[in-house]
Amino acid sequence: MPNLLTRRLALLTEDANRALLGGLRGIERETLRVDPAGHLASTPHPAALGSALTHPEITTDYAEALLEFITPAESDIAVTLDKLDTVHRHAYSRLGDELLWSQSMPCQLPPEADIEIANYGSSNMGMLKHVYRRGLALRYGKAMQCIAGIHYNYSLDEQLWQVLASNPETSASPTQATASPKDVQSASYLATIRNFRRYSWLLMYLFGASPALSAGFLRGRAHKLDTLSDDTLFLPYATSLRMSDLGYQNDAQSGLRPHENSLDDYVNALTHAVNDPYPPYETLGTKKDGEWIQLSTNVLQIENEYYSTIRPKRVIRTGERPIQALCLRGVQYIEVRCMDVDPFEPVGISLETGRFLDAFLLFCALDDSAPISAEQSACYTHNFARTVKEGRTPGLTLHRDGEEISLQAWGEQLLARIAPVAALLDSRHGGTAHADSLAAQAAKLADPDTTPSAKVLAELRANGGSFAAFGLRQSERHAAYFRAHPASKEQSAYFDAMAASSLAEQRAMEAAPAGSFDDFVAAYRASTLCSHT
């Protein structure tokens, strides 16, 4: 009998079902504002861009200078990227002489005390966001929080899961036929996430673009990096130091492994993490000299603090916590968080990459996905960690089913399995864009020198070896591109109106009657309690 992937592809090839391959795509792009010399901008978030607290498309992440552009969710990644391009064009018209940093790893950062944490005003919600970031500074240091990435939000048509579950040949399990639509969809997205865990090392090889970093970023931490120049450290075969233990890492979270075998397990793990004290944080307390320094002394202050390469998500309602939304209404989409900013692309990601991600994620959604054991989870973590630090090493092997297999051979096998998925998407959209994106990735497997990480190192070596100089050069190129093609009057008017509306909304929040911040935090923390039904 054909395997589950083949049976599902056959069902979705039928004209009546091909429309179910729609869904939505959204992108969140983080980028540091820097001055013309390539140093972290010390200016406040530009008022012309609106309120970072309430603007739906332009906000800040950790630092006051760390911009985050959020696109609306669109049915075609090409439209999503066009919207992202427009946000960049408009932003550049309001940035003065500042630039948007072109890399995932930060520019040359000032001393910790001089990195300004994002400010969201005086409302209780604005202060909660700010104090949360104070806690991040306390727990992880400010430099780590200045790392930027691309988050890829992905969903499929909600009817797709029902069509697959109602057909005995394409259902993931016999119990799905009688489960509620919400539970079927949640279980299906978690199955997608488990397959992502199995194969996400491939994304790091193909798209990792941070093999080097500024020497000052490590702030004196021990490391085993090589020296490329006076101001730059690197690993010769690394793909993404951003995703290694030198980037996002934390001892408190080292034992946090939310189980993605069921939504109940996942929610329970995060609920414990935001409610269970962590002794080193207890020693610090939540206040110092009467000032809040972190929201709680628990493993996580809030669930968003969990550093994960992928998350199950649900759009939250006003006053709702992410855990509550998942509990009450199930998984709505997934957020891929491991993608580096592509320093050769003005918006940080190419359309070709988006097409491949769509094929890769649909493959993860349609392929069989058994529960993951603790031993298997450790194996997948090993493969990912090895790829981010050594991915282009000649003859590199990974663990698969108790055996060693070369990264290249396994990658080629995966691309062969994804190929019919790409063909199905092309039959849905017309053209050959998805198949073409697979061919481009196959070329990277055949020649590691064509990967983004290798290209970054080649550029560094050809121009003195300075990561800071390379980052500034690319930032200037991107700035010239956007400034030469400014947003239209209509587009600028749209963003200016949104900025004005967001500022008015923040002022209204700050003027509204409110209780004490202490009571607000207590109520917010208590709201994590919920039961999955």
> Is pLDDT of 530 > 90?
no
Say if residues 514 and 124 touch (Cβ distance below 8 Å): yes
For residue 100, what pLDDT is reported? 98
Cβ burial 52-84 (10 Å sphere, 16+ → b, else e)? bbbbebbbbbbbbbbbbbbbebbeebeebbebb
pLDDT 10s digits, 142-167? 999 999 999 999 999 999 999 999 99
Residue 135: exposed, middle, or buried by beta-carbon count in 10 A (0-12, 13-18, 19+)?
Answer: buried
Burial class (CB in 10 A: 0-12, 13-18, 19+), 39: middle
* Chain segment 110-148, per-residue pLDDT in tens: 999 999 999 999 999 999 999 999 999 999 999 999 999
Q: How confident is the model at residue 255 (pLDDT cuts 50, 70, 90)?
A: low
Nearest in space to 25 (alpha carbons), one of 104, 78, 85: 78
In angstroms, the CA 505 to CA 124 distance is 14
**Which ranges constitute the DSSP H helices of 367-488?**
374-390, 407-429, 433-446, 452-462, 467-484
Cβ atoms within 10 A of the Cβ of 482, count? Answer: 20
- Please state, in angstroms and rounded to a whole number, the distance separating the CA atoms of residues 309 and 193: 10
Residue (of 43, 63, 37, 34) closest to 147 by Cα position: 63
> By the 8 A CB rule, do 159 and 17 touch?
no
Contact residues for 515 (Cβ-Cβ < 8 A; gap 6+): 124
pLDDT digits (tens, 9 = 90+) for 429-484: 999 999 999 999 999 999 999 999 999 999 999 999 999 999 999 999 999 999 99
CA distance 306 to 503: 30
What percentage of the chain has pLDDT greater than the value 90?
Answer: 86
* Averaged pLDDT for residues 516-528: 90
pLDDT confidence tier of residue 490, bands split at 50, 70 and 90? very high
Phi, psi of 211, rounded to the nearest 5 degrees? -85, -5
- pLDDT tens, position by position, 317-369: 877 888 899 999 999 999 999 999 999 999 999 999 999 999 999 999 999 99
DSSP H or E segment with residue 130: helix 124-140
Question: Taking residues 68-94, what's their average pLDDT?
Answer: 97
Calculate Rg over the CA atoms of the chain. 23
Predicted local confidence at residue 533, as pLDDT: 39
HSE-CB at 334 with a 13 A cutoff on CA atoms is 29
pTM above 0.85, yes or no: yes
Count of C-beta atoms within a 10 Å radius of residue 196: 23
Across 473-501, average pLDDT: 97
* pLDDT digits 0-9 by tens, 297-314: 999 999 999 889 999 999
Pick from 128, 130, 139: which is nearest to 522 by CA? Answer: 128
Specify the residue for token string 């990735």. 441
With beta carbons less than 8 A apart as the criterion, state whether 366 and 196 touch: no
pLDDT for res 121? 97
Phi, then psi, of 130 in degrees rounded to 5: -70, -45
The overall average pLDDT reported for the chain is: 94
Percent of residues in the chain assigned helix, strand, coil, to nearest 5:
50, 15, 35
Q: Strand, helix or coil at 198?
A: helix
In a 10 Å sphere around its CB, with 0-12 CB exposed, 13-18 middle and 19+ buried, how is residue 328 labelled? middle
Alpha-carbon gap, residue 376 to 400, rounded angstroms = 9
465: region left, alpha or beta (phi > 0 left; psi from -120 to 50 alpha): left
Give the per-residue pLDDT at 532.
40
Contact criterion met (CB below 8 Å) for 64 and 116: yes
Residue 528 has pLDDT above 90, yes or no: no
CB atoms within 10 A of CB 394: 8
pLDDT in tens, 229-243: 999 999 999 999 999
What tens digit of pLDDT does each residue of 391-408 get? 999 999 999 999 999 999
DSSP-assigned states of every residue in 504-526: HHHHHHHHS----HHHHHHHHHH
Question: Which pLDDT score, from 0 to 100, does residue 258 have?
Answer: 58
pLDDT over 70 (residue 526): yes
Tokens encoding 454: 């290798």
What is the phi/psi pair of residue 331, to 5°? -80, 135
